[in-house]
């Protein structure tokens, strides 16, 4: 994977990319392993700095294996459109059912596997350990 340093040479712990891969540093990987060892698969990669062609090791693509069917459509904001006789849901505001999350701390949603959801515990650990590159949006969880 290539990296283009725009604002300095510090590579963040979570690297946003055009492939929507969840690319994380070894420090971020350690935190995720502590929380849910079986819920995330890590595939090691090297990061190429396109400015000077230096390789950085210690990063992985994190494949979140936990997938739940927890969308609460009644409290979510979304539109539905059809594409080739298939209904497509465009969700702009998520609401999730707590019981369907089954206590998972990191997961994707069944049928909507690009956003990654984390529990408050994971968010707190990310902030406590100064993991860089992450942004969070609060999601309503229905009990």
Rounded mean pLDDT of 43-51? 88
> What's residue 5's pLDDT?
62
Name the residue with tokens 């090297």.
46
* pTM of the predicted structure, to 2 decimals: 0.85
- Largest separation between any pair of C-alpha atoms in the chain: 51
Of 19 and 44, more confident: 44
pLDDT band at 9 (very low <50, low <70, confident <90, very high): low
C-beta separation of 58 from 13 below 8 A: no
Mean pLDDT score, 111-136: 93
Residue 6 banded pLDDT, cuts 50, 70, 90: low
Residue 60: phi and psi, rounded to 5, are -140, 155
Distance, in Å, from the CA atom of 140 to the CA atom of 143, rounded to the nearest integer, reads 10
Q: Does the pLDDT of residue 7 top 60, yes or no? A: no
């Amino acid at each position: 994977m290539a990296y283009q340093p725009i604002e300095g040479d510090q590579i963040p712990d979570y690297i946003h990319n055009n492939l929507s891969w969840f690319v994380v540093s070894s420090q971020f990987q350690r935190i995720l392993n502590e929380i849910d060892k079986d819920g995330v698969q890590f595939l090691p990669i090297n990061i190429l700095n396109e400015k000077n062609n230096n390789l950085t090791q210690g990063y992985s693509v994190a494949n979140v294996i936990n997938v739940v069917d927890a969308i609460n459509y009644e409290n979510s904001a979304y539109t539905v459109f059809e594409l080739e006789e298939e209904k497509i849901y465009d969700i702009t505001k998520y609401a999730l059912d707590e019981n369907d999350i089954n206590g998972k701390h990191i997961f994707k949603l069944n049928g909507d596997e690009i956003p990654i959801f984390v529990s408050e515990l994971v968010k707190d650990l990310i902030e406590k350990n100064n993991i860089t590159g992450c942004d969070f949006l609060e999601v309503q969880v229905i009990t």
